[in-house]
């Protein structure tokens, strides 16, 4: 059994923040979970080729013992300089592992926590140095990539260098199978993902850490718009989100728009909206806001949040976020996969365009139904998808308490 409190080096390819993408929100919840157990030093590994779309709001700088931003560059001598937020370091390829070890030893840390396989690919090895090492996969990345490629083929979306992408994904699958069993504990977002990881890697040390979000204090103070608003929130560098809004606008929203005689709006909010997504604003009743620093106003005006996903892995943080914001949710079964929801109590599930449209109309027309979903979602968040619930899962998983460990169950 490990010591009851551990100081951790948390390594991530993206900055953890609840103001960012789904990956950033999951990373933020894990950092806060670890801070409940001890000190955390955060190391974010950046590459020259990485996208600049990730949010860095410096919230973790105020919580962690130290925050390092490691920039891996080809043509610069290693240099270290203290900035207003965090410590900026540059190093050449091949020096990442030794830089990590230096931080680990400097702060006398006790365990390594790696966020996702994408981060491991940046670490350049060196796992044997760490006596205790965990990895959060969230989902099996090779499986996610394959499902997205399958969806693109089904919808006719272009896949750049398809043969190269397939080879890369096969290599990623082999890497997952080789590396994942080297960790002392492996974490996934749902029981289904945990079973998939176990099946593909033959690793049995897998536990569920559900996606969670902090509670929103003013969640019931809504100012519903005069014209009902249906809201979709998502990051559009994730193709299933792009497909979801196209599917909703083309197959579902026209039914709603006609039944309500145009007295309804569909609002699209999210990072990295492509031209294809922005063009949806040309349709009657559709508004595309793009990235927003504060989603509170959008949730406060929304009569309904929709999650019409047709592919995806892990679990949808956007559903948990709607629960915390006091909004009723209509989703496909795929969109809600991995979450312990009950259709009619805390969400409505619908898997055809006609059924989805009808479910939306029912919520818009029936305030009693809408309130039941709001209350059910709030209670579900409190019970299973709060930071306190996440800490309970973690402590049970690594045997830090007398709580019963349920590695493949979120209840």
Residue 77, CB half-sphere, CA atoms under 13 Å: how many? Answer: 0
Distances (CA, A) of 395 to 110, 202, 230, 383, 385: 16, 24, 38, 16, 15
**pLDDT at 53 (0 to 100):** 60
Which of these, 284, 247, 289, lies nearest to 263 by C-alpha position? 284
Contact assessment for residue 68 and residue 44, using Cβ atoms and an 8 Å cutoff: yes
Q: Helices then strands (H, E): number in the chain?
A: 14, 15
Helix axes 191-201, 162-179, angle to 10 degrees: 90
Instruction: Quote the CA–CA distance of 351 and 373 in Å, as a whole number.
Output: 18
**pLDDT at 405 (0 to 100):** 40
Task: Name the CATH architecture for the domain at 8-213+386-397.
Answer: 3-Layer(aba) Sandwich (3.40)
Q: What ranges in 162-238 are assigned the alpha helix state H?
A: 162-179, 191-201
Task: Name the CATH architecture for the domain at 229-384.
Answer: 3-Layer(aba) Sandwich (3.40)
**pLDDT at 271 (0 to 100):** 87
Q: Name 227's Cβ contacts closer than 8 Å, sequence gap at least 6.
A: 263, 264, 265
**pLDDT at 164 (0 to 100):** 79
The string over 288-298, giving b where at least 16 C-beta atoms fall within 10 Å of a residue's C-beta and e elsewhere, is: beeeeeebeeb
Instruction: Quote the CA–CA distance of 266 and 232 in Å, as a whole number.
Output: 8
Q: Is 126 left (phi over 0), alpha (psi -120 to 50) or beta?
A: left
Burial label, 8 (beta-carbon count in 10 A; 0-12, 13-18, 19+): buried
- DSSP code per residue over 299-327: HHH-SEEEE--SS--S--HHHHHHHHTT-
Contact assessment for residue 142 and residue 38, using Cβ atoms and an 8 Å cutoff: no
Instruction: Quote the CA–CA distance of 139 and 149 in Å, as a whole number.
Output: 16
Task: State if pTM tops 0.85.
Answer: yes
Contact assessment for residue 317 and residue 26, using Cβ atoms and an 8 Å cutoff: yes
Q: pLDDT digit of tens for each residue in the chain (411 aa)?
A: 344 468 999 999 999 999 899 999 999 999 999 999 999 999 999 976 544 567 788 889 999 999 999 999 887 554 444 445 689 999 999 999 999 999 999 999 999 999 999 999 999 989 999 999 999 999 999 999 999 998 998 988 876 677 777 888 899 999 999 999 999 999 999 999 999 999 999 998 899 999 999 988 755 445 666 799 999 999 999 999 999 999 999 999 999 999 999 999 999 999 888 999 999 999 999 999 988 888 899 999 999 999 999 998 889 999 999 999 999 999 999 999 999 999 999 999 999 999 999 999 999 999 999 999 999 999 999 999 999 999 999 999 987 544 444 444 443
Give the three-class secondary structure for 43. Answer: strand
Structure token pair of residue 256: 């709603």
Domain boundaries, the chain: 8-213+386-397, 229-384
Distances (CA, A) of 288 to 233, 246, 253: 10, 12, 14
Give the three-class secondary structure for 128. Answer: helix
Strand partners, 46: 71
Structure token pair of residue 71: 């920039």
Q: Could you check whether 8-213+386-397 and 229-384 share the same CATH topology?
A: yes
Instruction: Quote the CA–CA distance of 341 and 320 in Å, as a whole number.
Output: 10
Q: Which residue has the tokens 């989805």?
A: 356
**pLDDT at 26 (0 to 100):** 97
Residue 202: what are its φ and ψ, rounded to 5°? 60, 25
Instruction: Quote the CA–CA distance of 77 and 89 in Å, as a whole number.
Output: 10
**pLDDT at 1 (0 to 100):** 39
């Amino acid at each position: 059994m490990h010591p009851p409190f551990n100081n951790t080096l948390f390594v991530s390819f993206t900055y953890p923040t609840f103001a960012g993408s789904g990956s950033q929100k999951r990373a933020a919840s894990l950092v806060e979970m670890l801070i409940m157990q001890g000190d955390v030093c955060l190391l974010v590994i950046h590459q020259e080729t990485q996208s600049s779309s990730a949010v860095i709001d410096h919230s973790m700088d105020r919580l962690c013992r130290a925050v390092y931003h490691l920039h891996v560059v080809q043509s610069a001598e290693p240099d270290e300089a203290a900035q207003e937020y965090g410590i900026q370091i540059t190093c050449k390829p091949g020096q990442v592992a030794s830089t990590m070890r230096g931080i680990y030893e400097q702060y006398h840390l006790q365990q390594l926590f790696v966020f996702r396989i994408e981060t491991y690919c940046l670490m350049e090895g060196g796992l044997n140095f760490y006596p205790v090492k965990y990895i959060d996969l969230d989902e099996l990345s090779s499986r996610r990539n394959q499902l997205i490629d399958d969806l693109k083929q089904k919808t006719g979306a272009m896949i750049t260098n398809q043969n190269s992408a397939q080879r890369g994904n096969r290599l990623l699958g082999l890497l997952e199978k080789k590396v994942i069993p080297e960790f002392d504990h492996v974490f996934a977002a749902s029981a289904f993902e945990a079973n998939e990881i176990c099946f593909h890697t033959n690793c049995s040390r897998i536990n569920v850490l559900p996606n969670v979000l902090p509670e929103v204090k003013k969640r019931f103070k809504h100012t519903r718009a005069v014209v009902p608003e249906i809201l979709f929130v998502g990051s559009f560098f994730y193709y299933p989100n792009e497909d979801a809004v196209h599917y909703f606008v083309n197959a579902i929203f026209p039914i709603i728009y006609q039944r309500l005689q145009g007295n309804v709006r569909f609002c699209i909010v999210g990072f990295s909206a492509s031209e294809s997504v922005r063009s949806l604003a040309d349709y009657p009743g559709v508004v595309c806001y793009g990235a927003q620093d504060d989603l509170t106003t959008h949730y406060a005006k929304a009569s309904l949040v929709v999650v019409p996903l047709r592919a995806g892995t892990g679990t949808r943080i956007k559903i948990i976020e709607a629960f915390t914001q006091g909004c009723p949710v209509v989703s496909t079964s795929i969109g809600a996969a991995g979450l312990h929801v009950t259709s009619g109590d805390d969400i409505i599930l619908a898997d055809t365009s006609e059924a989805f449209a009808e479910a939306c109309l029912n919520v818009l027309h029936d305030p009693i139904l809408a309130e039941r979903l709001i209350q059910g979602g709030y209670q579900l968040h409190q019970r299973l998808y709060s930071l306190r619930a996440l800490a309970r899962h973690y402590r049970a998983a690594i045997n830090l308490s007398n709580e019963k460990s349920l590695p493949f169950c979120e209840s």
